[in-house]
């Protein structure tokens, strides 16, 4: 596994609407492999293989992560903020954070005291960030409203091939589609492949809509994360049993074409890869929901990576699932044409 590239992606700050860092990392990595790299006004990045092919297969994964955005600097120099995406507010008090500014990274902490943990209705307006500023004037020399904030977490390997980091949702998907494009190229793929690192999935899913509307794909393979049930708080009755190390996950959902699921299963069998199956009651809550309804309608298939502790500071995935997902999509791309 290309750990250098993966760690570069995971080290970026890419709060929804502020994805520039991760997109620059994608462009730098893929310039030697893609036939074209396209961008648009919203900072989507599309790495293209075989652009002259009439078959256009869109690979889609979102570059943005949940996080915070500074809204105000108080007189005492502490920072107020709002959320971007589905953060768990209770996971923020007492945590170290880093803020992406025009002058570089600024570090701080979310203020905490014992009684704050008793507040069952905790909201972002109840919290502030301390960056060590003397007062408002001092703070404004370092940060400004609109600067994105993320938890200052680490990338760590765990036992048995597991690893943990912030924002595996869904930069791990971006990693997978870019590596799958490289591998499909090695396998001699003749289809047009459009690997899109999209913006704003955690808030509007507008990036995926823009990309699909402009590429006009024949079909789309969406790569995201899904809830693993081998951890606390998850119930197999909701969507089915999904475990880390069990392989990529295919989804049965109203908007997913059964034929594409079947073709993905055939490619998995050909590559000797086990897949898991989950169910969705309606929407998949991924970029696929927007892509499916774009243009004159786009057939989609969703391939997910099992993830523990989604939207927490300590998301956990399995290296084997990642590698198998790359190989599965590369095989599917090669088999399709």
Predicted pLDDT at 1 = 85
pLDDT tens-digit readout, 110-159: 999 999 988 889 999 999 999 999 999 999 999 999 999 999 999 999 99
Q: With cut-offs at 50, 70 and 90, classify the pLDDT of residue 93.
A: very high
Q: Is the pLDDT of residue 216 over 90?
A: yes
* pLDDT of amino acid 61: 98
> What is the spatial distance between Cα 241 and Cα 177, in angstroms, rounded to a whole number?
25
Q: What is the pLDDT of residues 223-277, one digit of tens each?
A: 999 999 999 888 898 899 999 999 999 999 999 999 999 999 999 999 999 999 9
Question: Looking at the predicted structure, is the pLDDT value of residue 337 above 70?
Answer: no
pLDDT at 240: 93
**Residue 67 pLDDT:** 97
Task: Indicate whether 3 pLDDT > 90.
Answer: yes
Q: How far apart are CA 97 and CA 20, in angstroms?
A: 19
Q: Mean pLDDT score of the chain, rounded to an integer?
A: 96
Check if the beta carbon of residue 329 is closer than 8 Å to that of residue 180. yes
Q: What does the pLDDT read at residue 120?
A: 87
pLDDT tens per residue across span 155-176: 999 999 999 999 999 999 999 9
Q: How far apart are CA 194 and CA 191, in angstroms?
A: 10
Q: For 187-213, what is each residue's pLDDT tens digit?
A: 999 999 999 999 999 999 899 999 999
Q: How far, in Å, are 79, 93, 112, 124, 152 from residue 119 at the CA level? A: 20, 11, 12, 12, 24
Kindly state the average pLDDT of the residues 36-49.
Answer: 97
Task: State residue 309's pLDDT score.
Answer: 96
Q: What is the mean pLDDT of residues 51-72?
A: 97
Give one DSSP letter per residue of 245-310, joined into a string.
TS--EEEE-TTS-HHHHHHHHHHHHHHT---EEEE-SS--SSTHHHHHTSTT---EEEEEEEEBST
């Amino acid at each position: 596994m290309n750990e250098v590239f993966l760690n570069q992606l995971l080290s970026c700050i890419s709060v929804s609407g502020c994805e520039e860092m991760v997109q620059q990392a994608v462009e730098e990595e893929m310039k030697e492999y893609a036939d074209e790299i396209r961008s648009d006004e919203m900072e989507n990045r599309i790495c293209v293989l075989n652009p002259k092919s009439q078959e256009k297969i869109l690979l889609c994964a979102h570059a943005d992560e949940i996080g915070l955005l500074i809204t105000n600097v108080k007189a005492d120099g502490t920072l107020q903020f709002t959320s971007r995406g589905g953060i768990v507010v209770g996971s923020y008090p007492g945590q170290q954070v880093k803020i992406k500014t025009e002058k570089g990274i600024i570090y701080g902490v979310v203020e905490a005291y014992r009684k704050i943990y008793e507040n069952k209705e905790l909201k972002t307006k109840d919290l502030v960030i301390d960056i060590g500023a003397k007062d408002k004037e001092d703070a404004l020399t370092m940060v400004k409203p609109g600067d994105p904030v993320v938890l200052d977490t680490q990338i760590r390997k765990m036992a048995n091939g597991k690893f943990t980091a912030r924002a595996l949702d869904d930069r791990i998907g971006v990693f997978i589609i870019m590596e799958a494009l490289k591998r499909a190229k090695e396998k001699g793929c003749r289809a047009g492949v459009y690997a899109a690192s999209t913006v704003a999935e955690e808030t509007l899913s507008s990036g995926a809509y823009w990309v699909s509307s402009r590429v006009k794909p024949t079909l789309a393979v969406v790569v995201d994360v899904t809830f693993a049930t081998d951890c606390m708080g998850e119930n197999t009755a909701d969507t089915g049993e999904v475990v880390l190390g069990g392989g990529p996950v295919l989804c049965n959902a109203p908007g997913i074409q059964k034929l594409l699921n079947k073709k993905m299963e055939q490619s998995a069998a050909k590559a000797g890869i086990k897949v898991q199956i989950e169910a969705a009651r309606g929407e998949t809550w991924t970029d696929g929901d927007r892509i499916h309804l774009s243009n004159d309608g786009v057939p989609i298939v969703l391939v997910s990576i099992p993830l523990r502790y989604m939207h927490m500071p300590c998301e956990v995935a399995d290296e084997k699932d990642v590698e198998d997902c790359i190989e599965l999509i590369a095989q599917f791309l090669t088999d399709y044409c």
